[in-house]
Chains A and B, each alone.
Chain A
Amino acid sequence: MKLKLISVAALLSLSMGIAAHAAEGELVIGTEGAYPPFSMADANGNVTGFDADVGNAVCEKLALKCRFVVQAFDGLIPALNAKRFDVIISGMSITEERGKQIDFSRSYGEFPNNFIAKKGTELADAKDIETLKADLSGLRVGVQGGTTHAAYVEKNMPDVQLMTYDTLDQMQIDLASGRLDSSFADASAQSDFLAKPDGAEFQMVDVVIDSSSDATLGTGLGIGIRKDETELKEKINEALCELGREGTLKTSSEKWFKMDISQTCD
């Protein structure tokens, strides 16, 4: 009986070591799937976008097959630590807070962030961070839950009414319906909204807020990896460097963002 228990335990601990989905020749990637143009999932679960390109290119370098698992953004880190997937590639910024939970690869890109505002309002004309803060005070500002944007506004702008959404879609529906005065997200997501009919009445506020503005915004986009997987991390870093040198990241970035946001190793 005791022997049986031990063997069951051994079996369980073995199967727990699925850390290596890699052993099965697969790299399982967790991604949001609802964050264009980083990560978009269609009705059949296929993922496209910049992050999908990065993922597929890394898989190719590691000689593994890519499999994407779609997961709400604020559940990505818990799910990675629960070994539901091997890495996170989901437009995730490298921050100190997140660094306590998981490790990150080197940065593969960096993105500016912007507020948007209704055309013709004072907020829309703000030119520096101080007027921006003053104009935002008391307004309803939308952010996506669990993002660096949420953390940034919460820390630096205690006077705004912060509204947290599960997805970008919901936030944009509320911008269009007038429930929100403004929103804070990365420049790409914002211009994506402005290009839609719903976004016609809005414009980008001309104050770029990037990682140099505040530590909560992180130090560029990284691939999330579990803390104990140093080997995988090194391999991924090497792959990212090679992809940067070969120009793969740049091409892909220009394809999705119409500009180069990629970061290289040199």
Chain B
Amino acid sequence: MDAELIYRAVTTLAKGVSVTLTLASIAVAIGFCLGLGLAVMRVSSSRLLSGFAEYYSAVFRGTPLLVQLFLFYYGLGQFDAVRDNAVAWWVIGDAMHCAILALALNTAAYTSEILRGGLMSIPVGLVEAAKAAGMSRVLRFRRIEFPLAIRQALPAYGNEIVLVIKGTSLASTITVLEITGHAKRLMSQTYAIFEIFTIAGLFYLAINMVLIFAVRRLEARLASPGR
């Protein structure tokens, strides 16, 4: 293999790392909040709320992320109403913002399923004890249900973050220059297909390894104080 080419590929692709991480972290942050809201709606006694959350999750989990991305970026971009509305166009008009939107809405659906599982795993007795102790609804959620649900859901949520990182590569299809975007551009200049895509893959692999390691550490830390 050509050392000069590899050097060029590594430095070029490294430029995409920060974009990939920005996309993923903002999408995960927004997606987590939305997902938490949806999970709470899902377990609520209101048929309307739980029904909405269920359909939301079915639609976003039942369609490919690529379709969602193109629907938001090219689909919504065709309407004058969207283009003339400053806020809507700030989101849809910019490829990066639009990619974050699609990723966040998508991961919110998966997050809601994971957190719902966590919420449902909480022993009824604990919640009843908190009620008996006179804890308010909000306090109960914050001190009892939420921490327990998170601890339960953490391993699955770690996998979900990995999926978001992988999903960011689709942003390259709407002109965002993250790792895959740079890789594709470099490929069409040098045709060193194997080297470039392998190096790009290693970047993702490294990011995901670090992430999985961090989640494991967090799991271990969360597990101990309970005992």
Contact = CB atoms under 8 A, between A and B. Distances in A.
Do any beta carbons of A and B sit within 8 angstroms of each other in the complex?
yes
Interface string B169-189: 000010101000100110111
B41 interface: no
Contacts of B177: 164
B173 A146 contact: no
B188 A177 contact: no
Given A100-B191, A163-B95, 6 more contacts: A78-B191, A146-B188, A164-B184, A170-B74, A177-B83, A178-B83
A97 interface: yes
Interface of A: 74, 77-78, 97, 100-101, 145-146, 150-151, 163-166, 170, 173-174, 177-179
5 contacts: A74-B184, A78-B191, A78-B193, A164-B184, A179-B94
Interface of B: 74, 77-78, 83, 93-95, 173, 175, 177, 181, 184-185, 187-189, 191, 193
Nearest to A178: B83
Contacts of B94: 179
Contacts of A178: 83, 93
B93 A179 contact: yes
A164 B95 contact: no
A179 B176 CA distance: 13
Nearest to B191: A101
Given A177-B83, A179-B77, A74 B93 contact: no
Nearest to A176: B78
Nearest to A101: B191
Nearest to B74: A173
Which of B74, B181, B187, B191 lies at the interface centre, i.e. has the most chain A CB atoms within 10 A of its CB?
A: B191
Contacts of B74: 170, 173
